[in-house]
A and B are shown apart, each in its own frame.
Chain A
Amino acid sequence: AQRVTQPEKLLSVFKGAPVELKCNYSYSGSPELFWYVQYSRQRLQLLLRHISRESIKGFTADLNKGETSFHLKKPFAQEEDSAMYYCALSGVPGGSYIPTFGRGTSLIVHP
């Protein structure tokens, strides 16, 4: 079964500090991985996907198949980055293309 693990429920940093939100998945093939974000009082929305290899709002995420990880990183956190971040997995052969979400990590960036 597809599974996504986000080990941290809460990550608290100061503005300007580096941020890494961890995500591990359970599959040894070639899944598609995503990060979704939910800002306060807003809807869940796609932040980035690994196949795009893009940087969105300064965030990047690299798929590490050896470690089955897809950690989200930003070198200098901003207060407006405070939000819930969800890692999601889909496209698993023999599994489902419907995204499976982790439990989320709450990022709080202090001024």
Chain B
Amino acid sequence: EPEVTQTPSHQVTQMGQEVILRCVPISNHLYFYWYRQILGQKVEFLVSFYNNEISEKSEIFDDQFSVERPDGSNFTLKIRSTKLEDSAMYFCASSSGPNTGELFFGEGSRLTVL
């Protein structure tokens, strides 16, 4: 069964450093998402992406964040200058349509900012 894959599973970085989290969505899916979950808190929506552009983003997704689909398979989340409060689990997800409600999630990338 096809799955969303994410790398790295865990990344530790120093405050102020750039981080790129990578995702390979399910191959025939067209809609891609990033969510994050700070420890003990809810899963929060960051951004959705369709047709090579951002379709929706939350207020969390400020200028420090960017997303890209550099090739036909990868979907990346970049944090330009990490802050301590960026420490979280970052989940990538994909879906076949924009309003199915069923998202297929990756296993997550844990980011620790020191």
Contacts and interface: CB of A to CB of B under 8 A. Distances in A.
Interface of A: 4, 32, 34, 42-46, 49, 86, 88, 90-91, 96-104
B41 A99 contact: no
Kindly name the residue among B45, B48, B101, B102 whose own CB sees the greatest number of chain A CB atoms within 10 A: B101
B101 A90 contact: yes
Nearest to A4: B42
Interface string B80-114: 00000000000100000011011111111000000
Contacts of B3: 43
13 contacts: A4-B42, A34-B102, A43-B4, A43-B107, A44-B105, A46-B102, A49-B101, A90-B99, A96-B56, A97-B99, A97-B101, A98-B56, A104-B43
A32 B56 contact: no
B75 interface: no
Given A43-B105, A88-B101, 19 more contacts: A32-B101, A34-B101, A34-B102, A43-B106, A43-B108, A44-B105, A45-B104, A45-B105, A46-B102, A49-B101, A90-B99, A91-B99, A91-B101, A97-B101, A99-B103, A101-B43, A101-B45, A104-B42, A104-B43
B101 A99 contact: yes
A46 B42 CA distance: 16
A70 to B, nearest CB: 13
B43 to A, nearest CB: 4
Contacts, number: 49
A73 B46 CA distance: 30
Kindly name the residue among A43, A46, A49, A98 whose own CB sees the greatest number of chain B CB atoms within 10 A: A98
B20 to A, nearest CB: 21
A91 B100 CA distance: 9
A44 B45 CA distance: 14
B102 A97 contact: no
Kindly name the residue among A45, A86, A99, A104 whose own CB sees the greatest number of chain B CB atoms within 10 A: A99
A98 B45 CA distance: 8
A86 B43 contact: yes
Contacts of B107: 42-43
